[in-house]
Structure 1
C-alpha cells in the first residue's frame, strides 16, 4: 500500500516538482497536507494528506475521465476541499493498482505543467 512519504517521493521525480506545506507550520504533523507544485508556475498537481488513518491524494483530472474513474473505483471520489469537476480524491485503501495511481499523478502533472511558448514562423 502506498504511503504519504512514498507518494511525495514519487511526485518529486517530475521535473520542477517541489513539496510545499501552505496550510501547516509543521510539515511532520500527522494531519499536514503536502502540496506538490511545479517550481515555474507554482501550480499544484497533487495534495497528499491523511484523514482517519487513510492516506489520500487529490489529483487534477480531465472532467470526462474523472467521472469514468469515479464510476470504476470506489476509492476515487470527487475531490475533498477542491473543485469537484476537475479534481479527484484517491484513497490509498489498496483497491486501486499502484501503477494506475502513478499514471494519474503523471496525468495531473501534465495538466498543470507550464506550456512552452509557440514558435513564430519568420517568413
Structure 2
C-alpha cells in the first residue's frame, strides 16, 4: 500500500484532522485533538504508526517482519508498520479502523457527543 493510499483512508474518519506538529518528517492524524495515526514522510520505506490493543500488537509483531513496536511511541499500545507490501491491505485498513475507534472511545463524553454531531 502506498503512503498516499493510507493517508487518504485516515483522512476519511469522522473528525480526522492532519498536521505536522513534529516537523515535515511525520504527518499526524488526530480526532478531537488526540492522535490515532502517524505517517512517515521522508523515509525510503514509508511507515504508519497506529494505536492497538497490546495483545493484538504483540501478535502482529510476532507474525510480521514489517510490524514493530511503536517507533518513538509507547511500545505497548502502538505499532509501526512498514508499508512494504507484507501486511495485507485489508488488515492494514482494519488496524487503522481499530486505532481510530480506540482513541475515539477514550475521548471525554462532551467530545464524543461533539464528534457524533459532525
Say whether the fold is shared (TM-score over 0.5): yes
Task: Work out whether 1:23 is the aligned partner of 2:22.
Answer: yes
- Which ranges of structure 2 fall in alignment gaps of 5 or more residues? 111-118
Matches within 5 A, 1:63-78: 63-78=54-69
Give the alignment's TM-score, normalised by structure 1: 0.81
How far did 1:98 drift? 0.6
Are residue 60 (structure 1) and residue 54 (structure 2) matched? no
Shift of 1:71: 0.8
* Secondary structure, aligned partner of 1:54: coil
Select the residue among 27, 33, 54 that pairs with 1:34.
Answer: 27
Q: What is the deviation of 1:115?
A: 5.6
TM-score (norm 2): 0.85
SS of the aligned residue for 1:88 comes to strand
Structure showing the higher helix proportion among its residues? 2
The residue number in structure 2 matching 1:121 is none
Q: Over the residues paired in the alignment, what is the CA RMSD in angstroms? A: 1.5
Q: Where does the alignment leave 5 or more consecutive residues of structure 1 unmatched? A: 118-123
2:36 and 2:77 map into 1 onto residues whose CA distance is 11
Between Structure 1 and Structure 2, how many residues are aligned?
108
